[in-house]
Amino acid sequence: MTANLDDTFGVIMNRMLTTGHAPHYVEIAAELEISPDEGRAALHELFAAGISGWLFPDTDYIASFAPFSNLPSQYRITIDGQQGWFGQCGFESLAVSWLTPGQLVTIDAPCLDCGDPIHIEMRDGTVIGTEPAGLVGHVTVPFRKWGSQLPFA
């Protein structure tokens, strides 16, 4: 039995969204009612399909699954008052609120230059407040190279 890529994606996304953590492939298999080996195959097939995420090198562990990171990053995400998520990067952190309709999403991070705090409040994709004003984002790698250097972009 082969898992549907949409279903595999949905299991991981829903788990990340509800708990802040990615499932192991055995857990993916259980939710999809397939064998553990089929779950592992489904995991690798999904990541090979070009989604915005990656596995920890040479393992079956999900490291990043946009817009979330399964490893702690400097982008701490709070949803409806609960801090339990990390953003894949500063940019993807801005997309989290699309997954939580009507809820307040805050992003807290240190500025990489000075360490002083950055605070962003969003709801339904709209920035409703920042501290300080005048925040910017920066990427070192041109978009056309993101595919090969995504973790370093």
Partner 1 sequence: MNLFRSEEHTRRWSQFDPASVEGILPLDTLAELFSVDHFTRRLEPDYVSTGLHADSLLAALRDLATTLPFWSPDPP
* DSSP, res 31: H
Report the chain's terminal Cα–Cα distance, integer Å: 37
Q: How far is the CB of 90 from partner 1 (least distance, A)?
A: 4
Q: What is the dihedral of CA 139, 141, 146, 151, to 10 degrees?
A: -70
115-144: contacts with partner 1 (CB under 8 A): 116, 118, 120, 122, 125-127, 130, 132, 134-144
Cα atoms in the 13 Å half-sphere on the side-chain side of 91: 11
22-41: contacts with partner 1 (CB under 8 A): none
Q: What track of x and - describes contact with partner 1 for positions 72 through 111 (by CB under 8 A)?
A: ---x-------------xxxxxxx--xx-------x-x-x
Helix 36-48 with 25-32: angle, nearest 10 deg: 110
Residues at the site binding partner 1, with contacts judged by CB under 8 A: 5-6, 9-10, 13, 17, 46, 49-52, 66-67, 75, 89-95, 98-99, 107, 109, 111-114, 116, 118, 120, 122, 125-127, 130, 132, 134-144, 153
